[in-house]
Amino acid sequence: MKIILASALCSYRPKNDGSFNLSFSTYILSEEAKIQIMKMHNASGVLLFTDRDKVEQDDVDMIDNIDLELGNKKSQSERIRNVYYKIWEQDFKEHIDFKTYYINETNKIIEHLKSRLRD
């Protein structure tokens, strides 16, 4: 699904992880456009915002060349931490706090990887 709207960038807010929250205002929308926006709520995608009057071919080419993993919003380290959390929750929660468990487990991985390095 896609939607193209005339809009104005109203505000932006940097986040701790280096990304930004962006806020746009549109002009008066048709009912169809409103429905499309509601259907796309929380979807991932590509945003092209230009202050020119029209989109040019180089803009389209740039979008076509973007390589995104739209379905996976988490970094590899976030995924690993989440898996460790689930393991801790089901097997170790009553015996050790998560922070200590996570440090111990990741140290094992780090030491294993360091042992594979050549001097």
Q: What angle do CA 79, 84, 85 make, to 5 degrees?
A: 95
Give the number of other Cβ atoms within 10 Å of residue 101's Cβ.
19
What is the chain's mean pLDDT, rounded?
A: 87
pLDDT in tens, 13-37: 998 888 899 999 999 999 999 999 9
CA 101, 104, 109, 110 torsion-angle sign: positive
Amino acid symbol at 96? I
pLDDT in tens, 90-109: 999 999 999 999 999 999 99
Percent of the residues in the chain that have a pLDDT greater than 90, as a whole number:
57
Contacts of 25 (CB under 8 A, 6+ apart): 7, 8, 10
pLDDT in tens, 70-95: 555 677 888 899 999 999 999 999 99
Query: What SS3 state is found at 95?
Result: coil
What is residue 72's predicted lDDT score, i.e. its pLDDT?
57
CA nearest to 77, candidates 45, 101, 109: 109
Listed by start position, the domains of the chain span 7-64, 76-115
